[in-house]
Structure 1
Amino acid sequence: MKNYKKTLTACYLGFITQAISANFVPLLFLTFHRSYSIPLSKIALISTCFFFTQLVVDLFCAKFVDRIGYRVSIIISEITSGLGLAGLALLPDLFVNPYAGIITCTIIYAVGSGLIEVLVSPIVEACPFENKAGTMSLLHSFYCWGSVGVILLSTVFFHFAGLDRWRILACLWALVPLYNILNFATCPIEHLVEDGKGMTINQLFKNKLFWLFCLLMVCAGSSEIAMAQWASAFVESALHVSKTVGDLAGPCCFAILMGISRVFYGKYGEKYDLKKFMVISGMLCLACYLIAAFAKIPLMGLLGCALCGFSVGIMWPGTISIASKSLPLGGTAIFAFFALAGDLGGSLGPAIIGFVSQRNGENLQSGIFAGIGFPLILVLCVTFLLLKEKTETKNKKPE
């Protein structure tokens, strides 16, 4: 009998690996600036390079992953993630230009992160679990727990061992994906559709529902990442606290509540209609953005930030679950394009908040108000799907 729990454990660690890749290096931005005299303008490009590489990998996966195979591809993801993280301890000091060494490592582990983002969801979706939507939500919660773990454990390590030993911590974090190679090499892995029976990319592009789901993913990615990325700066400026306190109070609270939301739906999701749950979540997200944008009391703004994490929790995995049910022959390509759409939203949302804030005299609250469009569009799209489902059910009833 196949042990699909081992597959699930490997995928949990896969998302934790992605969380390490996304959150560890940003904690070292100021350290890189001071140690290697790298200008802050170049430091900011590290995140851009990370997300751009993920976008390229998303496009690559849509075309080639089915040919290479899930197992080989996901093992490559763990190898590149581990090598990229471990390389941070060596390459910046080996290269004549330390910045080139950091960017090289960033590209390597971003390749792994991009592959994980595309592959882990379809691997779990293909397993014969009963509550697919709940399982998917629980799976995605591990990215949240990974993010919280990276921030908290790294902060504790730096406090006791010192910032100058960050290379040791990079190697320790690299052990997670390197260990997970064994899990993915030995666990059972199924495929979503049989060879030759999945929809082609052209067929997907001609399907109107596919584009609606892509729009949903853009909105989900933006609603989540826009608030998550600006949470620390928002808390610092609103509450006038240090960066350490801002990181813990902002991104950590956001990630914890997002994780709780996903665990809640993972455990009790069978009792709720996923589309209705997403509509309520979208409306709560809209309310959180408005609270953060207009709160006169700083603690109310922090509450809006934190609760936003809970509201966005179901958006990304929920869209994947609804789309998988609506387009069962979408195959790996659909997950690759959804990852691309989510990353696009994750790039647009923070950029809009930053741009509007700058145009309004560095006022972050005005920037956050500008971000309400994405949860609003998400609510409208899911409401449309609900009405469509209601109409189809009504038409199927015998007269």
Structure 2
Amino acid sequence: MPPKKAYGRTLLACYLGFVTQAICANFAPLLYVTFHRTYGLGLSQLALISTAFFLLQLVTDLLCAKVVDRVGYRPCVIAAELLSGLGLLGLAVVPDLMPSHLIGILLCVAVYAVGSGLTEVLASPIIEACPFDNKDMVMSTLHSFYCWGSAATALGSTAFFSLFGVEGWRILAAALAVVPLANVYNFATCPIETLVEDGEGMGVRQLLGNGAFWLFVVLMVCAGASEISMAQWASAFAESALGVSKTVGDLAGPCGFALLMGLSRALYGRFGEKVDLTMFMVGSGVLCLACYLLAGLSSVPLLGLVGCALCGFSVGIMWPGSISISSRAMPRGGTAMFALLALAGDLGGSVGPSLVGNVSQHFGNDLRTGVLAGVVFPVVLVVCALAVRKGSSPCERGGGRA
């Protein structure tokens, strides 16, 4: 293998890959009002944009389990960056060229959604295959870049629109496309190792027939649901349930959530060797439960906002921690395991917000009640983490240089 210092470009490429994924997930929703005014799209049509994005990510996760090992990591991850860049670049041009503006938007979203899904599946095993010490810490740092990318997309877009007006959104879309397109070079030249030797990795059927793997699937579903439920509803919850302005709600809600989630992952990436990962997951689940209760039960807006933002810190380790625990317990899981775990996380990210929204509507559009319904996810996550700890050896639990 090349010297460890040669893997710095691999880290950089994967960091920028996660930033790209954050751009793809968060940029179009910032333009919903603009799309409504410019193209006359209704709320139900706008909802199709997010639905199409996450649905295609799920499909990509599933297909990756069988395709990537045959094609190879490098061609697939280069394709991921190209598709992400072309989709964002197309967003600046294609909708205005199509008879149906909505179809034009959805076509571009479909292209970068496939790229985003590939990145989600590939970046983690690429890092896992590198000869780093304390890989759970490296994994946490990697996933923190999704948070920094989300916050930067929101803050950068706000600054751009303030300076140049929202009418310049097409220029911003083209500018953002430079990130993945430039990152193609990094992935084309960085060292990429194989996670398992050909023929040694577990297949989808083997994984699905393993009882322990289903525990990790539930862990990932709850991680995704705990994170995305609050992240997606934070702005609306702050504005409608807590009665604060949209600006305050956006900054203290989704932006504060993303920044604290990134801080949590960065801190674990720096000091994680001193911590038992499974117990850190348990503690994070308990804190997440407390945050949901604080946000849902508090009658003081400031405390509710604290609950929303602090929830970001509590969920920070859940997704990368679940991946690290799973890969340590099942080292032969291979690409199929990472793809199915990503699928489980995305499934949780779809089910969680849906539960919050449906419960809220059932109780007269009361988002407080909907948020309280979300406590089921951190509770189940804690139970699963304790079960993993009970069934693992000390070296599998993490903490220190086992």
TM-score by length of 1: 0.97
- Tell me what 1:276 maps to: 279
CA distance in 2, matches of 1:392, 1:124: 20
Matched residues, percent identical? 63
1:102 equivalent in alignment to 2:102: no
Cα deviations across residues 364-392 of structure 1 (Å, max 9, x unaligned)? 10000000111000000111112223699
1:174 corresponds to which of 156, 174, 177 = 177
Partner SS state of residue 392, structure 2? helix
| Residues 229 and 356 in structure 2, CA contact (< 8 A), matched pair in contact too | yes
- Tell me what 1:31 maps to: 34
Q: 2:234 corresponds to which letter in structure 1?
A: A
Q: 1:196 corresponds to which letter in structure 2?
A: G
- Tell me what 2:327 maps to: 324
- Tell me what 1:57 maps to: 60
CA distance in 1, matches of 2:186, 2:394: 45
Partner SS state of residue 127, structure 2? helix
CA distance in 2, matches of 1:239, 1:217: 30
Partner SS state of residue 299, structure 2? coil
Structure 1 residues 133-144: aligned runs within 5 Å:
133-144=136-147
More displaced, 191-200 or 221-230? 191-200
- Tell me what 1:260 maps to: 263
Using the TM superposition, give the Cα deviation of residue 200 of structure 1 relative to its aligned residue in structure 2, in angstroms.
1.7
Q: 2:336 corresponds to which letter in structure 1?
A: A
- Tell me what 1:397 maps to: none
Structure 1 residues 276-295: aligned runs within 5 Å:
276-295=279-298
1:91 corresponds to which of 84, 89, 94 = 94
| Residues 241 and 366 in structure 2, CA contact (< 8 A), matched pair in contact too | no
More displaced, 61-70 or 243-252? 243-252
- Tell me what 1:212 maps to: 215
CA distance in 2, matches of 1:79, 1:391: 42
Using the TM superposition, give the Cα deviation of residue 202 of structure 1 relative to its aligned residue in structure 2, in angstroms.
1.4
Structure 1 residues 1-20: aligned runs within 5 Å:
1-2=2-3, 3-20=6-23
Q: 1:256 corresponds to which letter in structure 2?
A: L
More displaced, 276-285 or 239-248? 239-248
Structure 1 residues 112-261: aligned runs within 5 Å:
112-261=115-264
Cα deviations across residues 128-182 of structure 1 (Å, max 9, x unaligned)? 0001000000000000000000000000000110000100000000000000000
1:355 equivalent in alignment to 2:358: yes
CA distance in 2, matches of 1:342, 1:32: 29
Listed as ranges, the gaps of 5+ residues in structure 1 are 394-399
Listed as ranges, the gaps of 5+ residues in structure 2 are 397-402
Alignment size in residue pairs: 393
Q: 1:324 corresponds to which letter in structure 2?
A: S
CA distance in 2, matches of 1:392, 1:267: 20
CA distance in 2, matches of 1:190, 1:390: 27
Partner SS state of residue 190, structure 1? coil
Distance 1:391 1:8, change over 3 A: closer
Partner SS state of residue 311, structure 1? helix
Q: 1:289 corresponds to which letter in structure 2?
A: Y
Q: 2:103 corresponds to which letter in structure 1?
A: A
- Tell me what 2:375 maps to: 372
- Tell me what 2:43 maps to: 40
- Tell me what 2:343 maps to: 340
Q: 1:85 corresponds to which letter in structure 2?
A: L
CA distance in 2, matches of 1:174, 1:140: 20
Partner SS state of residue 156, structure 1? helix
Cα deviations across residues 294-338 of structure 1 (Å, max 9, x unaligned)? 001111111111111000000000010010010000000000000
CA distance in 2, matches of 1:16, 1:101: 24
Using the TM superposition, give the Cα deviation of residue 240 of structure 1 relative to its aligned residue in structure 2, in angstroms.
2.8
Cα deviations across residues 238-268 of structure 1 (Å, max 9, x unaligned)? 4433333322221000001000100111000
Distance 1:364 1:119, change over 3 A: same
- Tell me what 1:396 maps to: none
CA distance in 2, matches of 1:282, 1:366: 20
